[in-house]
Amino acid sequence: MYNILKHTLYLKMKSLGFYTFLIFEKLISALPLSLLYKFSDFLYFVLSYILKHRKEVVIQNLKNSFPQKSEEEIKLLRKKYMKIMADLIVESLKFSKLSNKKFLKHFEFKNLELLEKLYENNKSIFVACGHTGSWELSAMVLPLICKHKAFAIYQPQKNLYFDKYIKKIRGCFGLELLASQQAYRRFIENRNLLTINYILGDQSPSKDGDNYWTTFLNQETAFFTGLEKMSKSLGFAVVFLRIVRKSRSNYLLEFELLTDDAKQTKTGEISEMYVKALEKLIVEYPENWLWSHRRWKHKRMN
């Protein structure tokens, strides 16, 4: 009986937290962008100076990745990064409420004809990107710009209320989310359907996994091999997505072909092409990557 009561209270607390968030979300999303960014400025101040959100993690990651930069340059990069993170939070709440036409106005596209060409050649696609620019909004826009059926691999949330909310919000323009544990099975089931499948490849994998190790941002770094294994098995094309933040609420999405047939690549080739493309983008726009992530928490076993 005690366990049942404990579980019931736990679920009540989860639902209370979720519905409190929903009230906040409705209030924020109703604001015009001009006021929304005023709130973002306030949020930046709270995160950066009061909560000091993962300050040590961000600074250490930046120092290790850019050893040539001075202390002042590192501090400035952290400041720019935290301002962008605050913007991303409010944009994610606002943009899902926009119409298709208004949502599209916040994006520019480069090499979009690549997706059209792959569709005409009867090729399904893995679109691989990192946590750069606005990675969530960039996934959401895919159904509006290509003929392929659009999917995105995601990690389900423990809180079922928030998990349902995330699937609803990210799917508001037609994107369908696939739980990472079920994604490959769904790709097999959809093998007769032309699909474009969004995957983030820069999360930190477990230390005991079958990882791909390489030098990334001046550090020995492990990467998931899921992108390479799935694309080689399925024979999909692999496209790298460069997401560049041009200004507040404005993003450039550039599509770069890594291979039009993953089956023809050598072991490790796709992983290395992805890593190099991501590293080049981060070096060009360092403030746009997710520096607060504990990316290098695992070391390679000798």
pLDDT at 14: 59
Query: Could you tell me which residues are beta bridge partners of residue 196?
Result: 125, 150
Q: Which of 95, 119, 145 is the last residue of a domain?
A: 95
Burial 105-125 (b: 16+ CB within 10 A, else e): ebbeeeeeebbeebbeeebbb
Q: What is the mean pLDDT of residues 271-296?
A: 97
pLDDT at 300: 79
Over 90: is that where the pLDDT of 206 sits?
Answer: no
Q: pLDDT tens digit string along 234-276? A: 999 999 999 999 999 999 999 999 999 999 999 999 999 999 9
Q: Structural domain of residue 91, as residue ranges?
A: 2-95
Q: Quick one: 78 and 125 in the same domain? A: no
Instruction: Using alpha carbons only, give the angle 91, 97, 100 rounded to the nearest 5 degrees.
Output: 100
Q: pLDDT tens digit string along 149-190? A: 999 999 998 888 888 889 999 999 999 999 999 999 999 998
Report residue 302's pLDDT band, with 50, 70 and 90 as the boundaries: low
Q: Is residue 169 part of a domain?
A: yes
Q: Which of 65, 95, 125 is the last residue of a domain?
A: 95
Q: Quick one: 16 and 143 in the same domain? A: no
Q: Is residue 239 part of a domain?
A: yes
Sheet of strand 195-200, all strands in order from the earlier edge strand to the far edge: 107-110, 250-259, 237-247, 125-129, 195-200, 149-154, 176-179
What does the block give as tokens for 272? 């290395």
Over 80: is that where the pLDDT of 129 sits?
Answer: yes
Over 60: is that where the pLDDT of 10 sits?
Answer: no
Q: Quick one: 174 and 277 in the same domain? A: yes
